[in-house]
Amino acid sequence: MEEDMKQKSSESVAEFDIEKIRENRIKEAHDKHIEDWKPKTKLGVLVKEKKITSLDEALQLKILEPEIVDSLISLKSEILNIGQAKGKFGGGKRRAWRQTQRKTAEGNVPTFSCMSVVGNENGYVGIGYGRAKETLPARAKATRKAKLNLIKIKRACASFDCVCGEPHTVPFIVEGKAGSSRVKLMPAPQGTGLVIGDECKKILKLAGIKDVYSRTKGKKRTTINLAKACIDALQKTMEM
């Protein structure tokens, strides 16, 4: 019986180790990239020499290198579904890659584009759009741009029927727009969740907002503009 227990615990330890080793490996690769990074901008040099250690300070200036953001905070990223698989009657399934074609004398040349969100789930978030001849480079470009577009947002416990005091929602009603899309975010009490479409949900989640009511106007199916409107709304949380 005792032996059984021993074996069991050692097994779980082994599993945990593999998970940990994998995590460490990813972290090491990341650290090495940051270490090998040769900054090309003034801000990059300051960050590399550890003269600037807070992201807020860096955000005062224009960030032109994604490594600046990477060496200051750790970010999570996600892909927004902006594309559509082919389907009859326009009923294609949502997909991460948007495929467009250019017509040339030699034939059709496809281009893939992709939209990526990055955030630390604690007040910083950014979106980026990238295009390339293939899917993975498009994603890399999008993530890179998302890091450069990072913004800081303000959160609060601002709902009239919530007194928890934790920053879990938007501080007041904010409205953002891009193209024909409008997004209105309203404070909500704890436990409400994100009452908004799936793509905006990803953005709010990475920004660190847990509860929100929303209203959207305009063409909701154009995800790109909807995402931009969402970011525009979040940016307005800093305006008061």
Q: Torsions phi, psi of 198, nearest 5?
A: -60, -40
Does position 191 interact with Zn ion (CB under 5 A)? The reply is no
Of the pair 70, 211, the CB lying nearest Zn ion is at 211
Minimal distance, residue 155 CB to Zn ion, in Å: 10
Which of 41, 99, 190, 222 binds Zn ion (CB under 5 A)? It is 190
First to last CA, the chain: 64
How many residues lie near Zn ion (CB under 5 A)? 4
Stretch of 134-142, 158-166, 175-183, 221-229 lying at the interface with Zn ion (CB under 5 A): 158-166
Minimal distance, residue 223 CB to Zn ion, in Å: 30
Does position 158 interact with Zn ion (CB under 5 A)? The reply is no
Of the pair 157, 173, the CB lying nearest Zn ion is at 157
Q: What is the DSSP string of 123-181?
A: SEEEEEEEEESSHHHHHHHHHHHHHHT-EE---B---TT----S--B-SS-EEEEETTE
Which of 14, 64, 85, 164 binds Zn ion (CB under 5 A)? It is 164
Of the pair 63, 170, the CB lying nearest Zn ion is at 170
Does position 157 interact with Zn ion (CB under 5 A)? The reply is yes
Does position 170 interact with Zn ion (CB under 5 A)? The reply is no
Minimal distance, residue 186 CB to Zn ion, in Å: 14
Q: How many CB atoms lie within 10 A of CB 102?
A: 9
In the numeric block, the tokens 């209203």 are attached to 215
Stretch of 38-46, 72-80, 120-128, 186-194 lying at the interface with Zn ion (CB under 5 A): 186-194
Does position 194 interact with Zn ion (CB under 5 A)? The reply is no
Sign of CA dihedral 30, 147, 220, 160: positive
Please report which helix (H) or strand (E) contains residue 217, including its range.
strand 212-217
Q: What is the DSSP string of 7-55?
A: HHHHHHHHHHHHHHHHHHHHHHHHHHHHHH----SHHHHHHHTTS---H
Query: Rounded to the nearest 5 degrees, what angle is found at the Cα of 130, between the Cα atoms of 28 and 57?
Result: 60
Does position 193 interact with Zn ion (CB under 5 A)? The reply is no
Does position 162 interact with Zn ion (CB under 5 A)? The reply is yes
Q: Which residues bind Zn ion (CB under 5 A)?
A: 157, 162, 164, 190
